[in-house]
Amino acid sequence: DSGVTQTPKHLITATGQRVTLRCSPRSGDLSVYWYQQSLDQGLQFLIQYYNGEERAKGNILERFSAQQFPDLHSELNLSSLELGDSALYFCASSVFPLGPLTDTQYFGPGTRLTVL
């Protein structure tokens, strides 16, 4: 158990809908990262938050947004869902925003999103 929690574990929804994925980082970690794992794109970095502020953006679609709350939990919002958004979404956390190379990211169990 990495200490990172994600809910829900599975999510099935229809095209055009909006969903929210939730993540709680490990105790003491201030940085939260979101990654998407799909069959065609592999594991890709979406976005990073540190202590409530956005720190880095990756290949995140405009239909997707995220935020980190004062209690450090984070939510990833996916809207106008398409079939291609079906994937495993991971949240990871680490101590620093841009720390030493040893600052390991620990991953949550993931949320499997299926868009029908």
Partner 1 sequence: AQKITQTQPGMFVQEKEAVTLDCTYDTSDPSYGLFWYKQPSSGEMIFLIYQGSYDQQNATEGRYSLNFQKARKSANLVISDSQLGDSAMYFCAMRGENYGGATNKLIFGTGTLLAVQP
Give residues in contact with partner 1 (CB under 8 A).
2, 31, 33, 35, 42-45, 48, 55-56, 58, 88, 90, 92, 94, 96-99, 101-110, 112
Shortest distance (Å) from residue 6 CB to partner 1: 10
Backbone angles phi, psi at 76, to 5 degrees: -115, 120
Shortest distance (Å) from residue 62 CB to partner 1: 19
How many other C-beta atoms are found inside a 10 Å radius of the C-beta of residue 114? 13
Q: Which one, 35 or 64, has the nearer CB to partner 1?
A: 35
